[in-house]
Structure 1
């Protein structure tokens, strides 16, 4: 019987089992939700972390009475109060966080979105009262900010790349600390209504000591997959003034890049390039936003984290960091596949984006051009990157509709086209909740591609490619265990050139589960458990590509200790041969003292040598540490090591280091140094079966450095001044040699009207 028929039978059996075990009443059992009337007062506070304005005496008040983790609704070990009021233009929040030992409070001056090791307080708000998505705002005791967009549709999913413009301040006191926040309504999206609004809301406090304790205003039932549906509620907001919500951000970038076209050789000094640009953000309504950009500066301000790329057949993934693409990015997400990865839009001159949510309807439209047309060419045993010497035009459209309490359906279309090439994709996806714990996610897509002659020749594909992709996943989540089952089918000619889809020509089934046990916050172990899965992958002709079994254990406890360890065994096809790989893996992380975090991941066992199609013995190690030297200085080191031994000796040894040192003068002012170094040495004689042109160098070494000063008033009003250089050494050079260097400065200022 074919894999498809087996999968269909398996899916029907799972559905029957799920339906048979469903409770008769599917309504979520949860703790009592309290509805609070939000205070309205026209007073404007000075955000200084002091709470000395009279308005706080009449503000709506809640208390963080419950431990969320590791405890399960037990009483909070320390007292925390949170206060709310709105004045028509902003949502104002204050926390009083009591601490019996204020000297143990952990806080440093931090850049945006980097306070996660500190004490902190936060609010999470669901402004549409649809129990599907929301905003998170965190502040540490010194006023450092972090903001996050979250989605609770298919489990808690967070995106910390989202940035809003808001104010915060904090003060450490003799009884703990005080935090104030003022969040303009222009930074949020919510229904445009003359009636009272209801927002779901919770207050959080992170209390990191030997164990990191999190407290909340409400009890969370871990047997309920939905989190937002358990929040308390604020009612009011009838005095909100929509306003114009218009933001204009001109930018100016000056840079010079010098290069050495040949090594060894002389520098060729580049010209000073002056690049003005303009970003516009216009809130057409409270829940619809238009973004536009002209001649944008999309250069990477800070280097990506180092990734060791050796003995790997798939392209590396790098996250998006550019402001235009990050604003409203979640509106283009789909259920199962990454079909929109905007780092594929590398060098645009102009971009336009409309995103919004009206009632149960959310939607997004993006238009852009690109002077650098690059995309992934997927396969079932690896992927490559194709680059065209052509400018392309891009269109992306997404629509999603909420159905019932938690279900949703959506469509996505992407299109990229140049004179001799196009790729068009259409997708339909959704989530259906069978009960408060059980859901099915599904997605089906079709693509149509026309290739250039160069792509046809380089990647051995036809001029026209048409393919389909399908995935369905079932999951059941409870407090103590999780179950999952999934099926994926991607045809050979399927392409998602605006996404990150690195595999095609596969058919895959997966079954797995997890069991979790809980201790108390004062136990040596606060949580432990195990998880595992089995999966089997075929190509479209029915040939087995891989069968894999894995089992893992987890533990966490004092000193913020966490470990994940396990065994993976797979039989895998590569270049018409089957190889059996068995690997032991372990990840360990802990905080032995308050200001130092250390961790490591390593694996050892057997692994395919992809360059020579043979089995070898691998050792791979990652080690990292982060050290808050004091409230101003932070240092981090990430080190990667790998080697592969084959029958005739050691094939390669690779080292990589990523070192980052920063001095935070104030919450706005920062100096940062980044140094990255990679060293790969190979025994070329062990590549003897390769043609001379295909043999790698015996020595590959790379380095880069970057020194950046930044001054940020907010995410859009900022100043950068930086220097970077880089170089390499291969068999033609006797030492590391620089081949590029650059200096740049960037100014941008956000006018809000």
Structure 2
């Protein structure tokens, strides 16, 4: 087993020597700024005398679609500075100004004609601050990291900008406080600089510093900004108090003192940002409001994994989140910030006549974050947060008692990285700690710790790279807590055929490892490739503060890609990729083999098409039977087809279809997806997306039951249909005042029949050698009532006239509606007023109803829950 990864990477080292064409090296352009003595008015028109002191920078080169050629229209810029601000003037020429797309959106809308000013003030050639202005005067900001591979629009600095359309095209001005940038203490600064213009109606991009398509980097290839002399450290101090008024209405529940029909609450808190140095900031929050404007999308889980990954949307955690990132494969991450403030993990047992009020989320008492990147290449992040004891309140005929459902907990995350080798390499580390109050719930870990190291090295003009990390986890707790972890679906130490695993009921700790290593070719010529491996040992555990879906895995993966980067009269660009993956467990079993081919084409008319084919000839799961033996799913084949129209048009659409099917007609999954976008006015945009899934599987897991000295893993044929539609409407009165609507109904229905159970060899290739179907004609299984009067399926397996075991009807129908109407007004830069009306419901309906019948029964005919919210923030600088 150990020889396989070694052979894998020996092949990798040999492959590195193949396809070794080096990418082009383009001379760095330089712009020399000057200190200006008068201050321009930021009105978008470049008419102030202050601009006369500065030289124009120009000579832009097309990036997309025809890289290396002159753009349709040129762009010019000027950059100046004083003691506190950086000033930028932009001129975008256009011979047809009446056709300029002035699309109004809220901040960070990134629609229409626009220009991005990209500033690498660290000059680390990996990180940049991006300031965007559109022809309509809408501003946006992004933090670009990992040499331009990640763009984070959640960064919201204070700065000033405006734009004006005239007879030559359009112009814009920017005023950027040095407090919003991070730079070193050198007497004369050199920053990375690039400026990107999007000519919207032709979907054309042009850059001041040319970057050939074959080059792997983006920020590292930027030009340079010279002439910044004597910049003084700006002591940043921002304080942002907030208040929230919330009124909820819902259907009154008779006799329940906690569901009276309405609730009112008032909340307030404080956020602060302190600039410790030009490079590092301290964020503080007291009694934070981490409310989300949009709810998480609806979902139904059929594979037993009840932990679903959702994106972080809370501002405190989103800022500088890239620094804390430490992934060990896919979405598995040492730090998953949504664990902080999570829903309480405890449960409550009620007696007859009792009612309970359980908090929706854990209260975050306070949190602090120290983060940033220094001029000499140190990335630093420290985050600490304390969450309060949470109690469920129980009412029994007026008598009240409290039950602990989440203990007082301290969360700590530390992260560091150091660049070296002229920014071509880095090495870093991470440490996390979760410590719960000693009197906490016995079934939760008392403490959890994780440590890890990571590295990356690039060479050959950054065309080639190798990257990896290693993490060690250690969790402590009572025997009950550790046994619970061993038996969770992530670990399943109780698997009946796992010779390398067993549950130890006396253990009070678990220690495991995980990580990944991969590398390949990212630039130079038209070929790209990479290969690598990830692993998670059986005792690896991250979910106290991280995200981990499954353990006992060793994945190997590779792909080869060819790019057509020069446009023709047929296409603008095209790419084709072949992917191969395989997976083992720590007992050495080959569990999965996957192959895939996909091609993407951006046609000459800016439409797009993507086609995928795949075949998985071996699909064996250690978790499918929830602690039972390894199970072979049918060999899988699939194909995807998606296409979309030109997104620059007022009306655009995309559509996709996926068909996946198994051998012996064991399963089929058909997924249909269609999206429409319409911009009837510059100030109004609408989008509508619909997704429908038809999932049919003859051997969907249902439950496990005892039959004498044997266990019966019961499966059934499921007909599962899921449907969701999402409507978004955005109306912008001006760049600082907008109205947004979001609505999503989600319906999932599953019906079961033709029940069967696992017999013979569960990893046999023939389905008939894996399962035995119950014989309904002999009443071996029948639907009826048990001794308690509950409707169940009764099984008389040995046909002796006596029920051997029973199980509940697994049919389900789930409905969820989430809507939000939000008025957002940024009345001064950084200070906002929100008016929010949310409406929704979640529940189950009669599974015998049709899919749309469930929608009518649960949503259209029922009283919906309502939340009215007013939130105001004021940002003191």
TM over 0.5: yes
Match in the other structure for 2:4: 6
Match in the other structure for 1:43: 38
- The 1-side partners of 2:50 and 2:720 are apart by 67
1:590 paired residue among 641, 645, 659: 645
Tell me, yes or no, if structure 1 residue 89 matches structure 2 residue 116: no
- The 2-side partners of 1:5 and 1:158 are apart by 39
Seen in structure 2, the aligned counterparts of structure 1 residues 51 and 565 have a Cα distance that, compared at 3 Å, is: same
Match in the other structure for 1:519: 566
2:471 paired residue among 442, 445, 455: 445
- 1:114-263 map, 5 Å: 114-115=109-110, 117-153=111-147, 156-193=149-186, 195-209=187-201, 211-260=202-251
Match in the other structure for 1:651: 719
2:546 paired residue among 499, 502, 505: 499
Q: Secondary structure at the match of 2:34?
A: coil
Tell me, yes or no, if structure 1 residue 430 matches structure 2 residue 455: yes
Q: Secondary structure at the match of 1:103?
A: helix
Seen in structure 2, the aligned counterparts of structure 1 residues 662 and 295 have a Cα distance that, compared at 3 Å, is: same
Larger mean Cα displacement after TM superposition, 310-319 or 161-170: 310-319
- The 1-side partners of 2:574 and 2:585 are apart by 37
- The 2-side partners of 1:577 and 1:312 are apart by 13
1:480 paired residue among 506, 523, 526: 526
Match in the other structure for 2:631: 577
- Unmatched 5+ stretches in structure 2: 342-362, 391-403, 441-445, 489-506, 625-629, 699-715, 758-791, 794-805, 847-853
Larger mean Cα displacement after TM superposition, 322-331 or 310-319: 310-319
- The 2-side partners of 1:175 and 1:309 are apart by 54
Seen in structure 2, the aligned counterparts of structure 1 residues 14 and 704 have a Cα distance that, compared at 3 Å, is: closer
Tell me, yes or no, if structure 1 residue 412 matches structure 2 residue 430: yes
Q: CA RMSD in A?
A: 2.8
Q: Secondary structure at the match of 1:237?
A: strand
- 1:647-686 map, 5 Å: 651-685=719-753
- The 2-side partners of 1:621 and 1:227 are apart by 36
- 1:265-303 CA deviation, whole Å, 9 max, x = no partner? 995244422111011101111111011000000111233
Tell me, yes or no, if structure 1 residue 354 matches structure 2 residue 354: no
Larger mean Cα displacement after TM superposition, 695-704 or 552-561: 695-704
Match in the other structure for 1:276: 268
- The 2-side partners of 1:93 and 1:687 are apart by 69
- The 2-side partners of 1:293 and 1:106 are apart by 40
Larger mean Cα displacement after TM superposition, 554-563 or 328-337: 328-337
Seen in structure 2, the aligned counterparts of structure 1 residues 223 and 657 have a Cα distance that, compared at 3 Å, is: closer
Verify the 8 A CA contact 1:192 1:287 in the aligned structure 2.
Answer: no
Shift of 1:454: 5.8
Shift of 1:13: 3.2
Seen in structure 2, the aligned counterparts of structure 1 residues 85 and 263 have a Cα distance that, compared at 3 Å, is: farther
Q: Secondary structure at the match of 1:629?
A: strand
- The 1-side partners of 2:644 and 2:508 are apart by 50
Larger mean Cα displacement after TM superposition, 705-714 or 70-79: 705-714
Larger mean Cα displacement after TM superposition, 583-592 or 524-533: 583-592
Shift of 1:472: 0.5
Match in the other structure for 1:399: 416
Shift of 1:741: 2.4
Q: Secondary structure at the match of 1:325?
A: helix
Verify the 8 A CA contact 2:436 2:447 in the aligned structure 1.
Answer: yes
Seen in structure 2, the aligned counterparts of structure 1 residues 238 and 726 have a Cα distance that, compared at 3 Å, is: same
2:668 paired residue among 617, 621, 626: 617
Tell me, yes or no, if structure 1 residue 369 matches structure 2 residue 386: yes
Match in the other structure for 1:376: none
- The 2-side partners of 1:459 and 1:466 are apart by 11
The number of residue pairs the alignment matches comes to: 724
- 1:298-320 CA deviation, whole Å, 9 max, x = no partner? 1112334x354354555432222
Shift of 1:715: 7.1
Verify the 8 A CA contact 1:582 1:605 in the aligned structure 2.
Answer: yes
Match in the other structure for 1:634: 685
- 1:640-691 CA deviation, whole Å, 9 max, x = no partner? 1001234698702221011122221111112222221012233244568797
Seen in structure 2, the aligned counterparts of structure 1 residues 717 and 417 have a Cα distance that, compared at 3 Å, is: same
- 1:110-167 CA deviation, whole Å, 9 max, x = no partner? 111112x4111111111122212111111110111121111244x6222122221111
- 1:319-364 CA deviation, whole Å, 9 max, x = no partner? 2222211222222123655322212212412001111322121211
Tell me, yes or no, if structure 1 residue 709 matches structure 2 residue 823: yes
Verify the 8 A CA contact 1:637 1:659 in the aligned structure 2.
Answer: yes
Seen in structure 2, the aligned counterparts of structure 1 residues 237 and 335 have a Cα distance that, compared at 3 Å, is: farther
- 1:612-653 CA deviation, whole Å, 9 max, x = no partner? xx9311111222122222122121112110012346987022
Q: Whose Rg is larger?
A: 2
Shift of 1:60: 3.6
Match in the other structure for 2:660: 605
- 1:79-133 CA deviation, whole Å, 9 max, x = no partner? 1111111122111112111112222222211111112x41111111111222121
- The 1-side partners of 2:508 and 2:662 are apart by 36
Seen in structure 2, the aligned counterparts of structure 1 residues 739 and 103 have a Cα distance that, compared at 3 Å, is: closer
Shift of 1:388: 6.0
Q: Secondary structure at the match of 1:751?
A: coil
TM-score (norm 1): 0.90
Seen in structure 2, the aligned counterparts of structure 1 residues 580 and 361 have a Cα distance that, compared at 3 Å, is: same
Shift of 1:460: 1.9
Q: Secondary structure at the match of 1:221?
A: coil
- The 1-side partners of 2:484 and 2:149 are apart by 44
Match in the other structure for 1:379: none
Seen in structure 2, the aligned counterparts of structure 1 residues 514 and 411 have a Cα distance that, compared at 3 Å, is: same
Shift of 1:228: 2.6
- The 2-side partners of 1:332 and 1:592 are apart by 34
Q: Secondary structure at the match of 2:691?
A: strand
Match in the other structure for 2:814: 700
Verify the 8 A CA contact 1:308 1:656 in the aligned structure 2.
Answer: no
Larger mean Cα displacement after TM superposition, 705-714 or 666-675: 705-714
Seen in structure 2, the aligned counterparts of structure 1 residues 17 and 633 have a Cα distance that, compared at 3 Å, is: closer
- The 2-side partners of 1:620 and 1:264 are apart by 44
- The 2-side partners of 1:608 and 1:458 are apart by 35
- The 1-side partners of 2:697 and 2:325 are apart by 43
Match in the other structure for 1:540: 586
Shift of 1:519: 3.4
